[in-house]
Chain A
Amino acid sequence: MPELTVLVFLPIAAAVLILLLPKSYEQQSKWIALAASVAILALSVQMFFGFELHHSGYQFVERHKWVDVGQFNLQYFLGVDGLSMPLVVLTTCLTLASVLVSFSVTNRPRAYYACLMVLASSVLGVFVALDFLLFFLFWELELFPMFLLIAVWGSGRKEYSATKFVLYTIAGSAFMLVGILVLAFNANTFDIEVLGKTEFHGTLIPLGWVFFLLFVGFAVKLPIVPLHTWLPDAHGDAPTAVSVMLAGVLLKMGGYGLIRMCITMMPGVAEDWDIWLAGIGAVSVLYGACITLRQTDVKRLVAYSSVSHMGLVLLGIGALGNTGLVGATYQMLAHGLITGLMFVMIGLMYERTHTREISRLGGLARQMPLITTGLVFAGFGSLGLPALAGFIAEVTVFLGAFQRFEWAVLMSIFGVVLSAGYVLWMLQRVVFGPVKHEWDGVTDQHHWWEHTVVVGLVALVILLGVYPKMMTDMIGPAIDNIVVRVES
């Protein structure tokens, strides 16, 4: 069975089906979306457990001819390895979560769920495509649903934010496309597997520039400071489910691209630039944390904390060692789940209080025990409490980077200290503290779907925190392949 094709295109098929629904049935579109996301989750979990851990190459490979241009054979080439498999499962988990938290959406539900499904398809496509051009197509495809989801179903300055998001990504992808073409012209192929084994000589423009071009494309998505300014706007104005997808998986496309393309294809350049990668990472951690401290909007607060956490990914990548890269990958997974949970909780709270102003909220713990518990869980995960997923990731990144970049790790650790500050302070102001009469009568009476999402995500955060071996056994061998190339 072509698992990956089904995985990638099932959501698109569901989107088509949803759009074909007659208007009188439009409220049923959520069930189709739910069915599709349960199906891809089940499929990806089945693949996850069917994955052969000691097999170092790509698995579930599908390869067909697509286009011949001159001497290029472009392929429809899909496959997963230990790096992408966990990210695929993360995507399917969060897709289901974002469908469930969207159940209350009533404004044009058909278009909404169709966009959400196309978004899921494109992100899955990015993670499993092994032809550089196919990868790029999925990368671009994601822009259309994202633009619409933010611009139509968002809040506040939604159109401005949607456009800013699209413009930043397009500018980044223009750089990336040039980089892709230069590499492809040199190696006469777009095959990511082959490109990852090629030694490039005599490229059209110096290889360092190519690295820079690709780096910019991915760094916008990650995002790094100073290319991060689209993120708070996009998050602030996006509907809850889209924030979950954006923070949970879209940012990971950047980290995945950096590891899969920049580091694997140009290890020599990465070695020359490692101090920059680690330095930018550390600056992102610290700067992100400082900015987070003074946010007044809960959602923007979490958005800035994402900048800080994704800085750790870059720090781990910059370490260029086994431990650092595994840590970076683990941080992507942990951040995806924790921040996803965080946005879900904030979304639920917003639905009940209709405000995200920290100064207006307060003392909600009594009325909203479930939301408070979820939020506290997410917050503790975010500040790196041991036994939760974030802790493992942070420690691994620090261990990996400490040998080479002591100073960067020290900077980042200070950033993590700040994260404890902003998380606890936020919790104290939002859910604890004196009861405010404004919120009398507000309860967290919840539906089964909200309950499911919260319980599921909390369980995953704990699982990854106490049993990291499940993931590291899979990530490790894939990272080893890359590190071998860096070291040679």
Chain B
Amino acid sequence: MNSIDLAGPQIAVLIAAGVVLLIDALMPQQRRLLPFVALAGLIASALWSASWAGRGDYQDAFGGTLSLDQYAIFFYFLFAGITATVVLASIDWVNREGRGQGEYYALVLTTCSGLMFLAAARDLVTIFLALELSSIPQYILAGWGKDQKSSEAGLKYLLLGAIASALLLYGMALLYGVTGTTFLPDIASAIQANGEHYRALLVLSMVLMIAGFGFKMAIVPFQMWVPDVYQGAPTPVAAFLSVGSKAAAFAVVIRIFFVALPATFLSDDWSMVFAILAAVSMTLGNLMAVVQTDIKRMLGYSSIAQAGTFMIGLAAISVTGDEFTLGASGVLLFTATYAFTNLGAFVAIIAISQKIGSDQIKDYAGMWKRSPFLSLALAFCLVSLTGIPPTAGFWAKLYIFNAGIRADLAWLVIIGVANSVVSGYYYLSVVRQMFLGDAEDGRTIRTSPSIGMALGAATLGVLIFGILPMPLISAAENAVEVFAR
């Protein structure tokens, strides 16, 4: 029972998934309740997490393979919030699509539980299982649309995802071979004992794992799938992919590298790998985003660049002393702010593209006159993605750049700042279109209540944490205390 209690937040989500399927099968006339059941499950999950946070006695479950600590709780809240926003944003689209409504919500919820398991997993086998639990529903969701593009996106995501999983498994196998265990803390002590003899193998294993997770994080050079899948997949699903699996991948990478591989002779290597990946991702992602004319592709490439910025936090492991976890808390802070900012942007795009039937940036011209609410919210999210105060995105960037500077990565921070300027160009050019361009079609756009709620919540989050970011920063710093040495 205790272990079940510990996995409660995930189980609540899974139960909701089951109930959704049952209602869909047994009471088809009640289908419009489905999203609300899903939301109820997510709220229950968040409440359960909150009760754990309140109790404060964090424990291990299932023989230590799941660790319910403040780090996991941070991500539980994040994933519940992300999934709830995605569900709200999906309602209109799913109703219009008509088919498989129960399955859609059930898959979204299953993904969410997989992501939650991923954040808590402390054993290589559990990590891999959780990763597959979150990935397989996403492959299906990416191909959910009726058109060819969506099928292509689903297939592409599946094939490349399978390769990535194989690489990851390879890396894990090597790590197991060297250390004789799959339990992260034991791996760390085994490496401490006699890891230096196997340095080459360990580095190879790290590189393979970074490749495997790099696919989920969507960093260069594992980014090939991103633009096609973002463009082809249904927009709510693309939004989910862009924040959910990215956040989970960063969560698990931090846990693996900080718990299992913090030995100095290794961390120097992987921090350099992360630094280089960060620089390349930011630069290439931004350069590609500049030339896009389709807003979903643009956000796809920009999400590659953003992942590069997250990665500065991972590279900043060499911060010494008490601030050892500065980079990690920066990643958490960035993950959270990026999650609701990018979701906000996607939700606004969903609302707009449903009405104008186009994802071309030029068709956003004059949007200000057609829907002031949508354009203001979208503009605000884009400003936050650029990292201009007073938005949440600014604090995240400031924090992570600060961590980079503490870790003597000034060159990387300079690249980061230069990239922020480049990203400002394409983010703000959308804003310019919306506010200055002339609309060919002057009809106003009405926003449905569910989309309005999702967008309002995301934008309000960006604004509130932009003015008073302290609660979020403390939460992120508190969460990574589990890694303090």
Query: Are B390 and A163 in contact, with the CB atoms below 8 A?
Result: no
Given contacts A67-B469, A174-B424, contact A137 B390 (CB under 8 A): yes
Task: Point out which of A69, A71, A136, A204 has the most chain B C-beta atoms below 10 A from its C-beta.
Answer: A69
Chain A nearest CB from B326 CB (Å) reads 6
A167 to B421, CA, bound (A): 14
Residue among A70, A137, A141, A159 making CB contact with B402, cutoff 8 Å: A70
In the complex, the number of residue pairs spanning A and B with C-beta atoms less than 8 Å apart equals 54
Interface of B is mostly: helix
B294 at the interface (CB under 8 A from A): no
Chain A nearest CB from B347 CB (Å) reads 22
Nearest-CB residue, chain B, relative to A178: B417
Nearest-CB residue, chain B, relative to A72: B402
Query: Are A140 and B326 in contact, with the CB atoms below 8 A?
Result: no
Nearest-CB residue, chain B, relative to A138: B390
Name the A residues within 8 Å of B390 (CB-CB).
137, 140-141
Query: Are A170 and B389 in contact, with the CB atoms below 8 A?
Result: no
B436 at the interface (CB under 8 A from A): yes
Name the A residues within 8 Å of B395 (CB-CB).
67, 69
Chain A nearest CB from B364 CB (Å) reads 15
Given contacts A181-B417, A204-B413, A204-B414, contact A136 B389 (CB under 8 A): yes
Q: Mark A450-473, 1 if CB is under 8 A from B, else 0.
A: 000000000000000000000000
A204 to B417, CA, bound (A): 12
Query: Are B428 and A170 in contact, with the CB atoms below 8 A?
Result: yes
Name the B residues within 8 Å of A178 (CB-CB).
417, 421
Name the B residues within 8 Å of A136 (CB-CB).
389
Given contacts A159-B436, A163-B432, contact A185 B402 (CB under 8 A): yes
Query: Are A137 and B470 in contact, with the CB atoms below 8 A?
Result: no
Q: Count A interface residues, CB 8 Å.
A: 23
Which one, B1-9, B14-22, B63-71, B403-411, is touching chain A?
B403-411
B105 at the interface (CB under 8 A from A): no
Query: Are B436 and A163 in contact, with the CB atoms below 8 A?
Result: yes
Query: Are B414 and A140 in contact, with the CB atoms below 8 A?
Result: no
B398 at the interface (CB under 8 A from A): yes
Query: Are B401 and A67 in contact, with the CB atoms below 8 A?
Result: no
Name the A residues within 8 Å of B399 (CB-CB).
69-70
A185 to B408, CA, bound (A): 12
A136 to B421, CA, bound (A): 17
A38 at the interface (CB under 8 A from B): no
B37 at the interface (CB under 8 A from A): no
Query: Are A163 and B435 in contact, with the CB atoms below 8 A?
Result: yes
Q: Mark B426-451, 1 if CB is under 8 A from A, else 0.
A: 00100010011000000000000000
Name the B residues within 8 Å of A66 (CB-CB).
470
Name the B residues within 8 Å of A78 (CB-CB).
none
Q: Mark A177-217, 1 if CB is under 8 A from B, else 0.
A: 11001000100000000000000000011000000000000
Q: Mark B312-334, 1 if CB is under 8 A from A, else 0.
A: 00000000000100100000000
Nearest-CB residue, chain B, relative to A205: B414
Interface residues of B in 383-402 (CB under 8 A from A): 388-390, 395, 398-399, 401-402
Q: Mark A370-396, 1 if CB is under 8 A from B, else 0.
A: 000000000000000000000000000
Given contacts A185-B402, A205-B414, contact A70 B388 (CB under 8 A): no
Interface residues of A in 37-86 (CB under 8 A from B): 66-72
Query: Are A67 and B406 in contact, with the CB atoms below 8 A?
Result: no
Name the B residues within 8 Å of A177 (CB-CB).
388-389
Name the A residues within 8 Å of B435 (CB-CB).
163
Interface of A is mostly: helix
A133 at the interface (CB under 8 A from B): yes
Name the A residues within 8 Å of B401 (CB-CB).
181, 185
Q: Mark B458-478, 1 if CB is under 8 A from A, else 0.
A: 000000000011100100000
A205 to B410, CA, bound (A): 10
Given contacts A204-B414, A205-B414, contact A137 B406 (CB under 8 A): no
A167 to B428, CA, bound (A): 10
Query: Are A69 and B473 in contact, with the CB atoms below 8 A?
Result: yes
Residue among B326, B389, B414, B469 making CB contact with A70, cutoff 8 Å: B326
A72 to B406, CA, bound (A): 12
Name the A residues within 8 Å of B389 (CB-CB).
133, 136-137, 140, 177
Chain A nearest CB from B428 CB (Å) reads 7
Residue among A69, A137, A140, A204 making CB contact with B410, cutoff 8 Å: A204
Name the B residues within 8 Å of A133 (CB-CB).
389
Q: Mark B244-269, 1 if CB is under 8 A from A, else 0.
A: 00000000000000000000000000
Query: Are B432 and A69 in contact, with the CB atoms below 8 A?
Result: no
Nearest-CB residue, chain A, relative to B467: A137
A178 to B397, CA, bound (A): 12
Query: Are B388 and A140 in contact, with the CB atoms below 8 A?
Result: yes
A59 to B183, CA, bound (A): 60
Name the A residues within 8 Å of B406 (CB-CB).
70
Query: Are A69 and B421 in contact, with the CB atoms below 8 A?
Result: no
Name the A residues within 8 Å of B326 (CB-CB).
70
Name the A residues within 8 Å of B428 (CB-CB).
170
Nearest-CB residue, chain A, relative to B326: A70
A174 to B399, CA, bound (A): 18
Task: Point out which of A70, A170, A185 has the most chain B C-beta atoms below 10 A from its C-beta.
Answer: A70
A140 to B388, CA, bound (A): 9
Nearest-CB residue, chain A, relative to B438: A159
Chain A nearest CB from B398 CB (Å) reads 6
Query: Are A70 and B323 in contact, with the CB atoms below 8 A?
Result: yes
Chain A nearest CB from B141 CB (Å) reads 36
Query: Are A185 and B405 in contact, with the CB atoms below 8 A?
Result: yes
Q: Mark A99-134, 1 if CB is under 8 A from B, else 0.
A: 000000000000000000000000000000000010
Query: Are B403 and A67 in contact, with the CB atoms below 8 A?
Result: no
Chain A nearest CB from B452 CB (Å) reads 20
Name the B residues within 8 Å of A174 (CB-CB).
421, 424
A287 to B372, CA, bound (A): 41
Query: Are A181 and B398 in contact, with the CB atoms below 8 A?
Result: yes
Name the A residues within 8 Å of B436 (CB-CB).
159, 163
10 cross-chain CB contacts under 8 A: A69-B395, A70-B326, A133-B389, A137-B389, A137-B390, A140-B388, A170-B428, A174-B421, A178-B421, A185-B401
Q: Besides the contacts A141-B390, A170-B428, A205-B414, what 18 more A-B pairs have beta carbons closer than 8 Å?
A: A67-B395, A67-B468, A67-B469, A68-B473, A70-B326, A71-B402, A72-B402, A137-B389, A140-B388, A140-B390, A163-B432, A163-B436, A167-B432, A174-B424, A178-B421, A181-B401, A185-B401, A204-B413
Q: Which A residues are within 8 Å of any B CB, using their own CB? A: 66-72, 133, 136-137, 140-141, 159, 163, 167, 170, 174, 177-178, 181, 185, 204-205
- Ranked nearest first, the 10 interchain pairs of A and B with the lowest CB-CB distance are A70-B402, A69-B399, A137-B390, A163-B436, A69-B398, A185-B405, A137-B389, A67-B469, A204-B410, A67-B470
